[in-house]
């Protein structure tokens, strides 16, 4: 690949990834997915990683979807391989041990919505547009949308979006729980920058443990999930982070994690 498709900015463990295909509204093709997979593989082993933000280049689009020009002539076998590439990449994103934030700065459709769903947070500009319009193309969501969307917004709304293909604005996305925050576009960058600093400034071990408890617990029965929480809670007392955090609270000072 001659063109750099994922721009990476690293600020002391606060990492920002930008999908850099603005002329194609940052549509996901095989090359973008391969480069994103490579970047995430490098990040997941870093002990100093605190938080990660992912966005799309320009002000029009986060990710407008998968690249239809690439997909239109695929055989069923090729389509399966392409979707599997995306599923594996998004799973790597989802299981990154630190908080991940989708900075949604415009169109967030199809594979773009599925990419945002693989993140822990989604913060949208007030002009963002969301949807799973795949049925309008004669297919279904193939990058995890039929599974992550109902887990995020409930099965009734997921059925609505996936079978009508309709698009929703940022305020409706907030109302149904698809995004965490909606900001005026002019304030979006500053808000997400401060959010990343806040997430990165909390105890890294406890933040990772909280994310693990929630993600892993969602796939277990309640008793097993509570046992997982109990084990991770106890684990937090095994290092210096808990001691520093509680000492700082008692001493009325800011903790030094």
157: closest CA among 122, 132, 180? 132
Q: Is 37 noted as a catalytic residue in this protein? A: no
Q: 37, 134, 172, 189: which is the annotated catalytic residue? A: 134
Per-residue pLDDT at 180 = 98
Per-residue pLDDT at 1 = 43
State the pTM of this model. Answer: 0.95
Close Cβ partners of 4 (under 8 Å, ≥ 6 residues apart): 20, 35
Per-residue pLDDT at 239 = 87
- Counting as low any pLDDT under 70, the low residues of the chain are 1-2
Close Cβ partners of 199 (under 8 Å, ≥ 6 residues apart): 50, 51, 98, 99, 101, 207
Q: 114, 241, 244, 251: which is the annotated catalytic residue? A: 114
Domains annotated on the chain, with CATH: 6-200 (3.90.226.10), 203-250 (1.10.12.10)
Q: Is 244 noted as a catalytic residue in this protein? A: no
């Amino acid at each position: 690949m001659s063109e750099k498709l994922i721009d990476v900015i690293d600020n002391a463990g606060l990492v920002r990834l930008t999908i850099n295909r603005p002329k194609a509204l940052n549509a996901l093709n095989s090359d973008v997915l391969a480069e994103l997979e490579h970047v995430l593989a490098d990040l997941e082993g870093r002990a100093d990683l605190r938080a990660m933000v992912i966005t799309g280049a320009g002000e029009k689009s986060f990710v407008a979807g998968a690249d239809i020009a690439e997909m239109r002539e695929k055989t069923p076998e090729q389509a399966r391989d392409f979707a599997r590439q995306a599923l594996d990449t998004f799973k790597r994103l989802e299981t990154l041990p630190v908080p991940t934030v989708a900075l949604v700065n415009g169109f967030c459709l199809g594979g773009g919505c599925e990419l945002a769903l693989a993140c822990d947070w989604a913060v949208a500009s007030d002009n963002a547009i969301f949807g799973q319009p795949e049925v309008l193309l004669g297919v279904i969501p193939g990058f995890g949308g039929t599974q992550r969307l109902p887990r995020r917004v409930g099965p009734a709304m997921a059925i609505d979006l996936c079978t009508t293909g309709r698009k929703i604005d940022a305020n409706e996305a907030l109302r149904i729980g698809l995004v965490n925050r909606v900001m005026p576009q002019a304030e979006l960058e500053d808000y997400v920058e401060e959010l990343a600093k806040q997430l990165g400034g909390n105890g890294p071990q406890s933040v990772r443990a909280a994310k693990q408890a929630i993600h892993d617990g969602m796939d277990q029965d309640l008793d097993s999930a509570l046992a997982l929480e109990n084990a991770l809670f106890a684990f937090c007392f095994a290092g210096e982070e808990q001691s520093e955090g509680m000492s700082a609270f008692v001493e009325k000072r800011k903790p030094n994690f």
